[in-house]
Structure 1
């Protein structure tokens, strides 16, 4: 199973729109795909689900992560890196069962010029520590609001081509 993680808790984000786009594309290939938006985390998970504790609200999320074979992280740029909620989420998940020796693809996005290049590199370092194997083709989508239409689909030919290439490689990964 593939789980796509929309790595922000911002309501109505471009990150979630892009994650849903990837989900549709992977479902069209007949794959089992789940989507977890970090805005679905329990509001108090930092108090209840860190350091070995586990709340009833976090249990199904942890089970989803444990059952996942491949992850696709869609990560927006926050202050030159990735959102703190993503790091807190990783820290709350059981180690090593959650990510150890599994596979991942990384997609960065930003409203600015660089598509979260730095944040993806920062997160890749965490993936290495977790023994989470990352697909070498990492995408960076700058000016995302100009790349995605009102229906939540990418439409710029170059970007769609890169996404298609990444999806095909991720499926084979």
Structure 2
């Protein structure tokens, strides 16, 4: 099972638009993938689901994570890195079995000109620590507001080419 994680809890985010774009592109290639939007983490996850505690609401998320073989993380840039809510998700999940020896592809997005290069690098370190194997082709999409049309589709030819290449490699990974 493939799960695409829209790694922000910001409502109506470009991150979610890109996650849905990837989901559609995978579907076009005959591969089903679910999208998990971090807006749907329990509001009190820090109090109810850390350090061995488990709420009923988070157990459903934990089950989804456990059943996933491949993850595709879409990460916006927050203060030169990835969003803290993504780290909360990782920390709340069962360790080490939630991610151990599974696979991931990483996509950084930003409204600036670097496409969350540092955040993707930071998160790659976390992935290595939890034994999550990362596809070597990590993408960085800068100036995200100029990359999407009103329907949430990528419109720049080079970005479409790079995402298609990453998707093909991710399917074979």
TM-score (norm. length: structure 2): 0.99
Deviation at 1:29, TM superposition (A): 1.8
Residue in 2 that maps onto 1:130: 130
1:133-161 alpha-carbon deviations (Å, 9 max, x no partner): 00000000000010011101001000000
Deviation at 1:32, TM superposition (A): 2.6
RMSD: 0.5
Is 2:59 aligned against 1:59? Answer: yes
Residue in 1 that maps onto 2:161: 161
Deviation at 1:31, TM superposition (A): 1.6
1:14-70 alpha-carbon deviations (Å, 9 max, x no partner): 000000000111122222311100000011111000011110001111000000000
Residue in 2 that maps onto 1:121: 121
Structure 2 residue matching 1:35: 3-state secondary structure: strand
Find runs of 4+ consecutive structure 1 residues off by over 4 angstroms.
none
Deviation at 1:96, TM superposition (A): 1.2
Q: How many residue pairs end up in the alignment?
A: 173
CA contact (8 A) 2:80 2:119 kept: yes
Residue in 2 that maps onto 1:4: 4
Q: Work out the CA distance in 2 between the residues paired with 1:97 and 1:119.
A: 24
Unaligned runs of 5+ in 1: none
Q: Work out the CA distance in 2 between the residues paired with 1:149 and 1:50.
A: 39
Q: Work out the CA distance in 2 between the residues paired with 1:18 and 1:63.
A: 24
1:35-50 mapped onto 2 (5 Å cutoff): 35-50=35-50
Residue in 2 that maps onto 1:86: 86
Residue in 1 that maps onto 2:111: 111
Q: Work out the CA distance in 1 between the residues paired with 2:61 and 2:89.
A: 10
